[in-house]
Amino acid sequence: MKYEFSTAISSFCAITGLSSAMAQVKAAGYDSFDFPFSVYSVGFQAPMVQQDWRSFLRSVKELCRQLELPVSQGHAPWLQDIPSDFHYVSPDELYHRCIEAAAYLGCKHLIFHPVRLRERIDSLSLKERIHDWNVRWFHELIRTAENYDVYINLENTFDSHFVQKAGDPSYPYTTGEDMLRLLRDIGSDRIRLCLDTGHANNSHRDIPAMIYSMKGELATLHLNDNFGLKEGSFSDIHLFPGKGQISWAPIMKALQDISYKGIYNIEPIDSLPKVDDGERIRLLAHGREKLKEMLSLQQV
């Protein structure tokens, strides 16, 4: 069976420059890459917030053509939180712009984090308010997604700010049930799911069980490893698969059992900004081969 592999470049594209980052991904043998709108949308000098943002996209598309390296998925920025008083704020125009940009780059799947409340969620009623806020917020993006034939992919999250206490409800959108409910309540065929394995591990989830629950809705992957949530340290370290504590064989089996047809995308971050270009290519190539090996073992 032929698999397609892609990788994120968000951790090193700002260091190397976009053209060099893409060239390194190509040299490492990947079929495509995850475009980081999240990187190119932050800061007053970011190209996606400029009036001539479409000229930036034309340059990206030309690089894709020259390198024969398509954009298979993209990551939207996360610039909005739910206000403490829960007053509603529509999606910033930038999110609509990113959907249009994804379509222009030939990218069908744009990944979004659910909008979060940075405070402790200490009751089911508060969790319900967060859910209702997200349903309303994402529903505003549906018309744009339809117009540009792009799918909004919702990514599972974790308690990154350590706000929850013992006895509290589970942090929003850390379970397969939460993700599926958000998808269904938004109520559009423009919504799909993205599984981030590192986020799931930080939330102490049964990752294969999440995959089975998402059958038919799982469209994209952020495959990365870590050592679990540890308060007082940065836990979302995004290691290459196999470099942390996650058990990968059951994950690969689950993906094959549900007939996952999407691209196998890795999201390594920890080591890639710290090495030179040649070593980065080597690490990326090794990560691709390791992932390919994990998948091939399920065929035996």
Please state whether beta strands 264-266 and 218-222 pair in parallel, antiparallel, or not at all (unpaired): unpaired
In tens, the pLDDT along 164-186 reads 999 999 999 999 999 999 999 99
Collapsing DSSP to helix, strand or coil, 182 comes out as helix
pLDDT value of position 151: 98
Provide the residue ranges of all domains of the chain, joining segments of one domain with +.
5-297
Q: Per-residue pLDDT tens for 7-34?
A: 999 999 999 999 999 999 999 999 999 9
Give the whole-angstrom CA distance, residue 225 versus residue 95: 28
258 pLDDT exceeds 70? yes
Q: Are 117 and 81 in contact (CB under 8 A)?
A: yes
pLDDT of amino acid 233: 66
Q: May I ask the CATH architecture of the domain 5-297?
A: Alpha-Beta Barrel (3.20)
Query: What is the DSSP secondary structure assignment for residue 120, as one 8-state letter?
Result: -
Angstrom CA distances, 155 to 21, 76, 160, 232, stand at: 24, 11, 14, 24
| pLDDT beyond 70 at 300 | no
pLDDT for the residue 270? 84
The per-residue pLDDT for range 114-153, each reduced to its tens digit, is: 999 999 999 999 999 999 999 999 999 999 999 999 999 9
Give, rounded to a whole angstrom, the gap between the first and last alpha carbons of the chain.
12
Which residues, 6 or more positions from 31, have their beta carbon under 8 angstroms from its beta carbon? 4, 5, 6, 70, 72, 263
**Stronger pLDDT, 234 or 129, i.e. the higher one:** 129
Mean pLDDT of 201-229: 96
| 69-73, 82-86, 232-236: segment of lowest average pLDDT | 232-236
pLDDT-based confidence at residue 299 (cuts at 50, 70, 90): low
At residue 44 the predicted structure's pLDDT band, cuts being 50, 70 and 90, is confident
Phi, psi torsion values for 151, nearest 5 degrees? -100, 130
Q: What is the pLDDT of residue 297?
A: 76
How does the average pLDDT of the chain come out, rounded? 95
User: Could you tell me which residues are beta bridge partners of residue 265?
Assistant: 6
Look at the alpha carbons of 193, 197, 201, 205 in this order and tell me if their dihedral is positive or negative: positive
Percentage of the chain beyond pLDDT 90 is 92
Percentage of the residues of the chain whose pLDDT score is greater than 70 = 98
Which pTM value belongs to this model?
0.96
The position carrying tokens 């968000």 is 10
